[in-house]
Amino acid sequence: MKLRMRLAWIGLPLIIAQLALPAQADTSKDIQVAGRALSFLENGPSGHVVIGVVFDPAKAASVAQKDAVMAALGSGLEAGSLTMTGKPMEVGAISGGVAALYLTSGVNFAAAAAAAKAHKLITISADGACVTSGDCVMGVTTTPKVEIKVNRAAAAAIGVSFKSAFRMMITEI
């Protein structure tokens, strides 16, 4: 009995520590959901599309997230009516030729948003602050639950809108 009590007291801090840890992002699920969301754009892309994965080479977290997104996309990730591949790009190299931009953490969101607006590109991130600030059109996270946020003003600024069926499933700000 005493041994069980000791083991319980030893294990309790470990359990508490695990509960206190933030949920880990699941990049492949985030990208899959983002792809499905893109298929709900009015006059949106279909078939094979290239997603620009915007990163900052000076920031290790941004490079790591870029690598995770590129690995998730692989040679073609199917999501709804889309088959997505990725093209890594730095903020200064944002150009047309891609269907959307996925902004990694640590990127200068404002600079990326300005370049995206110039090319009428939708911006997506797992960082909620990017959507709240209006620098990202859409925010997608799947951990601990699927959550999609759309910044209405940012979407209007590039001339995109989502189908009404989709708008009932998301949070618009």
Work out how many domains the chain is built from and give that number. Answer: 1
16 in a structural domain? no
Residue 33 confidence class, pLDDT cut points 50, 70, 90? very high
Q: How far apart are CA 118 and CA 76, in angstroms?
A: 27
53 in a structural domain? yes
Sort 87 into a burial class: Cβ within 10 Å, 0-12 / 13-18 / 19+: middle
91 in a structural domain? yes
Give the count of beta carbons closer than 10 Å to the beta carbon of residue 143. 15
CATH of the domain at 61: 3.40.50.2300
2 in a structural domain? no
HSE at residue 33, side-chain half, CA atoms within 13 A, is: 23
48 in a structural domain? yes
Residue 169 confidence class, pLDDT cut points 50, 70, 90? confident
Phi, psi of 54 (to 5 degrees): -90, 130
pLDDT > 90 fraction of the chain, expressed in percent and rounded? 71
Secondary structure class of 147 (helix, strand, coil): strand
93 in a structural domain? yes
102 in a structural domain? yes
13 in a structural domain? no
* 67-89 residue pLDDT tens: 999 999 999 999 988 999 999 99
Domain around 111 = 23-172
